[in-house]
Chains A and B, each alone.
Chain A
Amino acid sequence: MTGPTSSRARSTIRAGRRTLTRLAALAALALTAAACADDKPLNTFEPRSPQARRIDDLMSPIWWVMGVIFVLVVFGTMIISWRNRVKESDYDPEDLPEQVHGNTPLELAWTIAPAVLLAIIAIPTVDAIWDLEERNDECGVGEVGPGCDGLDVMVIGQQWWWEYRYDVDGDGFFLDVDGDGEAGDADDREWPLELSLDPDDVVTATELVIPAGQQVDLILTSRDVIHSFWIPRLNGKRDTVPGRWHTWSIQADDAGKYTGWCTEFCGLSHARMRMSAIALEPAQFDAWLANQSELADIPGDDDPDAVAGRELFLNNCQRCHVIDDGEIPAPEDIALVSRAAPDLTHFATRSTFAGGIYSVYAGGPGDATDANDDALPADDYLNLAELASNPDSLDDYRLNAAELKRWIANAPAQKDMAPDPNPETGLGRGMPAFTDLSDEQLDQIVAYLATLD
């Protein structure tokens, strides 16, 4: 039949199809845009290290294979269902379709074909597993010696922050516990962890500062429950398990900030256990590490607030926190499950505190950002880290005093924690409130913290 009706109908169908195509294209565009947007700091599709690129290269063709199978099966099923439909009112018991019971060659084919496809996929997968594993330097496990190049950092997860220990003096991460003349061998890894760690290492928290363009070998462990160390642009994740030492490696192509997040459920504040890696140009990194290796400054008489703040620190915070200025004693018998709290020796050179949820600085040179802002813009983190290699210039930055005071006065109100002693173990988890401190005293503590560059 050739009439105006049918041609109109046809053009309607065509128009409908055009609309559908456009909608599909739009949807695809929206998805791609969403996936590529640069406001997604944890995006897994933006590898910035050889390790992450290795994973991405393995997956890129496979996404296409999956996409094709998805379209064939899902749309195939829908099309088959639609084309073979019969209205229930037209149901005719005599109108039987051909009674096909099966087709053995066909079924064998679609058993064998996916198996072959998967076998093909398995080859690069196995290759990638071993390739990535071989990148993890065996020397990384707290050992030093010939053929063990590069920077080794021990990463220790605990509720709910990350500690990083840099083996700057090259004697390994552990004391020579068994007295065999070699520090850091397997027998030296004692539990609880605190007993066997080398106190001379550079210790930082939350932000892992690394040199750009160099592989960093990580040794992962935990002081309490299982956590998982994940900075998506630099590598996949690896669990930190108490009592176990896992090797892992990261590397950043360029200087910059790379966001991460604890990815194994670790209790109350799992959502507030964040971290980042900050990659510096190698020269800046060396300067940063040299600064971190020094003792903390002791405030002079020209800064009476800071002097008072140091006294308050000694009477309150020193129970758990380390500030190594050559005089303040290290805490003993910390009443926490993890037996550790963040080392604050160079607190003012960091950009975040409280497990990466608050910014240490509220504003940089010349800006008037509201002091209550959650964080500085990402670029400023980087500036801050660069400046950390030249601590004097930190004076231009304004400390996030309001948030710091809130935190010191009542940390459990800011972040879910369980600082009270557990009835069974007598140990708490997290930072207790210091509600006795007056506003003036809090100001004095903050003034002292500001001197720790």
Chain B
Amino acid sequence: MAIVEEPLALPSGQPDKAEKPLGALSRPSELTGLKDWLTTVDHKKIGIMYGAAAMFFLVIGGVAALLIRLQLATPDNTLLSGDAYNRVYTMHGTVMVFLVVMPIGAAFANFLMPLQVGARDVAFPRINAFSFWIFFLGGLMLNTSWFIGGGADGGWFNYAPNNGIAFSPSTGIDFWNIGLLIVGIGSLTGSINLITTVLNMRAPGMTLMKMPVFTWMTLVTQFLLLFAIPVLTVAQVLLAADRLFDANFFNVDMGADPLLWQHLFWIFGHPEVYLMILPAFGIVSEVIPTFARKPIFGYPFMVFSGIAIGFMGWGVWAHHMFVSGIGPLSVTAFSVATMFIAVPTGVKILNWMATLWGGRLILNTAMLFSIGLVTQFTIGGLSGVSHALAPSDTQQTDTYYIVAHFHYVLFGGALFGFMAGFYFWWPKAFGYKLSEAWGKWNFWLMVIGFNLTFGPMHILGLQGMPRRMQTYSEAQGFGFWNLVATWGAFILAVGTVLVLVNALVSYLAWKREGKPDVGADPWDGRTIEWSIKSPAPGHNFDVDPVVSSLDDFWHRKYQPDESGKLRRVHTGEELAQPGDPTGVHLPAPSYWPIVLAASMPIIGYGLIFSLWLMIPGILLMTLALWGWALEPADDLDADHGDHHDDDHGPDTDSSGAEAELETVS
């Protein structure tokens, strides 16, 4: 099955030593503190930083959401002007999609996937750090537009020709355009990195069909990213040429067809939807079997339906354009294709239900959020079918019915899945469990607030309230449900913030108790990440795990007795690795990823404000690439959580080979 069954055994050799690659900077070696976080190449720390950065952007996107809801709470409200409203709703969508949901998916993929496949790190650790920093710095640059130029005002979909300089002369859309171009570089390098990791660095014995479902969904997601991001990049380069250099790609006066932008944007935009939801599908496919104490029902169906979604996701983009005037033949084809993408999604829902069926369910917070995903996503899926029917979509598209639909998919689906993931893997990341009492409040306030916010939007949309409306008048009759939705939004905001409160409260409680060890396997887990200490040590696995089955760790704990009945023969703690490795080399920290990433926003500002400003950016970029090229990937003198330094030497075991692979980056 597997493309590569064993890690690649590259010839081992002594890397060149270059302590001061440019003769000035000595190599960073800190493993704690700020400098460590800035220079680390550890996939777990990078994963945590992805999560933390996403939470930071979630606050920005969330405040924007609350402003939208306050503005729409009553008819003819004047809290936000038309201009301010357009900027706020555009930035809400942009920040939530590109800087919150996608990065949380990346946080889980980074933190978890290497642990699930039994690897020491990702294939290209420095590129991994670069991916994070370029996402974070690009996202920050995008958000500086709040203060310089006032945020983009064309909607996250940013249709031409309204995105042109004639209709949006401020720099907001330039920030949107250049900022997302930069963030996209991070997504692209990240996808190549993670695909390589899954395909080449799995533990011995882990064939593709023994991979955890989350790892599978990560693989599908990264392939979607790999092919979708370049399409957006093309569209954004064309737009940048139009706006910054007076090109005419979208200039109707010069004969352009504005539908070009729509096609490019949605060829990216629809796979984008699936790459936001598939990581969450993977997460609940891990959580539900653990707390139902049953294997996932129909593992091959779960895997292949995920792959099917990944393929079919490319053939449905024009359902965003049923009223754009693309002609009845296109409408028919995309209408039918869109209806059938419900099939693999439905299979997943039914398989989760079958996994729950007859289980011994522990309804803790992680499980509640997973069940929340199954139910709420179903609602979003059903409303999706109603606008797959193109004639029906001509009444529903660009109304609040669509807003309800995609929030049920992306909030009730993706974010609920991510919340389940937070509660589930928190001990593996930080060494303590999140409080269940706070967790229950977290869940119930979110699920109630969520349905109060977005449930009424179905009604509003079918009553004819269009989207992207700064205001509405009393006579249109939208007042009541809008007010309900606004109250719901505040309940939802409180509910969402509780996860951060919970993290803090639980940490303080844990610290008060003297930081007791939560154990390697607090949930009676199924996959191999539960066979190492919590929090996961820097080197992950003391020895390479050898995998012989799906849910390998669980099968080592539970084995059939003579009568064939499953008995627990070991506890997780008995099997857990002690976290005391020998002869491990890890990729060394590096300054260059963050320096290279920092050069790009400078070039971006230069494109927007003055081309002269690009010069320092380009110089910095050249310097960073130079330094990166001269720096060997691992530093044999560094101590990386290895307690047996004396045993150093050119090692020939597989972990050494993995370390060698790092030099490729």
Residues of A within 8 A of B (CB): 31, 34-35, 37, 39-45, 52, 54-55, 58-59, 62-63, 66, 69-70, 73-74, 76-78, 80-81, 84-86, 88, 91, 93-104, 106-107, 110-111, 114-115, 118, 121-122, 125-126, 128-130, 132-133, 159, 191-192, 224-226, 228, 230, 232, 235-239, 241-244, 246, 259, 261-272, 337, 357, 374-375, 378, 416, 422-425, 427, 429
Q: Which of A74, A239, A265 contacts B323 (CB 8 A)?
A: A239
B193 within 8 A of A: no
Q: Which of A37, A236, A265 contacts B159 (CB 8 A)?
A: A265
Structural contact, B332 and A129, CB atoms closer than 8 A: yes
B263 within 8 A of A: no
Which residues of A have CB within 8 Å of B463?
A: 34-35, 40, 42-44
Which residues of A have CB within 8 Å of B353?
A: 73, 76-77, 80
Interface residues on B, range: 35 or more
Structural contact, A101 and B297, CB atoms closer than 8 A: yes
Structural contact, B323 and A236, CB atoms closer than 8 A: yes
Structural contact, A416 and B82, CB atoms closer than 8 A: yes
Given contacts A59-B391, A99-B295, A268-B86, 10 further A-B contacts (CB under 8 A): A77-B352, A94-B567, A103-B298, A107-B347, A235-B394, A239-B323, A239-B324, A261-B464, A270-B82, A374-B474
Structural contact, A239 and B464, CB atoms closer than 8 A: no
Contact segment of B165-173, B273-281, B424-432, B505-513: B165-173
Known contacts: A88-B362, A263-B399, A270-B468. The answer to whether A73 contacts B375 by CB under 8 A is yes
Structural contact, B382 and A34, CB atoms closer than 8 A: no
> Would you list the 7 A-B pairs with minimal beta carbon distance, nearest first?
A236-B394, A42-B464, A416-B82, A102-B298, A225-B162, A133-B328, A271-B470
27 A–B contacts from the bound complex (CB under 8 Å): A35-B459, A39-B475, A42-B476, A66-B382, A70-B379, A77-B352, A80-B353, A80-B356, A81-B356, A93-B568, A96-B558, A97-B360, A100-B295, A101-B295, A110-B350, A111-B301, A121-B339, A230-B466, A238-B323, A238-B394, A239-B325, A241-B324, A242-B252, A261-B466, A268-B83, A374-B473, A416-B82
Q: Which of B167, B357, B392 contacts A58 (CB 8 A)?
A: B392
Give bound CA distance, A217 to B471, whole Å. Answer: 31
B26 within 8 A of A: no
Q: Which of B331, B382, B385, B477 contacts A129 (CB 8 A)?
A: B331
B361 within 8 A of A: yes
Known contacts: A243-B255, A416-B82, A424-B165. The answer to whether A265 contacts B335 by CB under 8 A is no
B193 to chain A, nearest CB (A): 33
Give bound CA distance, A110 to B354, whole Å. Answer: 11
Structural contact, A416 and B81, CB atoms closer than 8 A: yes
B259 within 8 A of A: yes
Tell me which residues from 193 to 247 in chain B have a Cβ below 8 Å from any Cβ of chain A.
none
A4 to chain B, nearest CB (A): 32
Known contacts: A107-B301, A237-B323, A263-B399. The answer to whether A85 contacts B361 by CB under 8 A is yes
Which residues of A have CB within 8 Å of B361?
A: 81, 84-86
Known contacts: A34-B481, A118-B343, A243-B258. The answer to whether A224 contacts B390 by CB under 8 A is no
Known contacts: A86-B360, A107-B351, A129-B390. The answer to whether A118 contacts B340 by CB under 8 A is yes
Give bound CA distance, A102 to B386, whole Å. Answer: 30
Residue of B nearest to A83 (CB): B361
B363 within 8 A of A: yes
A335 to chain B, nearest CB (A): 13
Interface centre among A45, A62, A73, A429 (most CB of B within 10 A): A73
B294 within 8 A of A: yes
Q: Which of A101, A241, A243, A423 contacts B299 (CB 8 A)?
A: A101
Known contacts: A225-B162, A416-B82. The answer to whether A96 contacts B293 by CB under 8 A is yes
B615 within 8 A of A: no
A108 to chain B, nearest CB (A): 9
Which residues of A have CB within 8 Å of B645?
A: none
Interface centre among B323, B358, B472, B568 (most CB of A within 10 A): B323
Q: Which of A99, A130, A133, A224 contacts B566 (CB 8 A)?
A: A99
Give bound CA distance, A100 to B351, whole Å. Answer: 11
Structural contact, B464 and A225, CB atoms closer than 8 A: no
Structural contact, B459 and A31, CB atoms closer than 8 A: yes
0/1 interface trace, chain B 334-376, chain A, CB 8 Å (1 if under): 0110011011001101111110111111111000000100110
